[in-house]
Amino acid sequence: MSVYAVNDEGVTALNNTANSLVEESGKLAKECDVAISVAEEKRETLGPHVGSLIEALEAIKDEIDNDSEAIKEVASKIKDVADEYQEIIDEDNFAGVAGN
């Protein structure tokens, strides 16, 4: 489990994590589409079980698509935490300036 500090690096790491979740989910969905296309194109050379292979790939793709909304929600919550961290940092910086 990662630990994120309440500092600029922690905010950046949280935002990067949120962005990566969404990006990697999208990449995975695209790769499933490619695998399905290849299996369909090579149907005649993949043997008698190609239908079940395609069905399995389509089921995986469906699950990825179904989970994409949940992944976006998690990413949004991570960004909310990053925003809260940034507010704490900004308040501390302002308090430090005001206290001088």
Domains of the chain: total? 1
What is the CA angle 56-58-63, rounded to 5? 95
Q: Say whether pTM exceeds 0.75.
A: no
Confidence of residue 5 (pLDDT cuts 50, 70, 90): confident
Q: Label residue 14 by pLDDT band (50, 70, 90).
A: very high
Assess if residue 78 is contained within a domain. yes
d(C-alpha 31, C-alpha 16), whole Å? 22
Using pLDDT thresholds of 50, 70 and 90, give the confidence band for residue 97. Answer: low
Q: 90: domain range?
A: 8-94
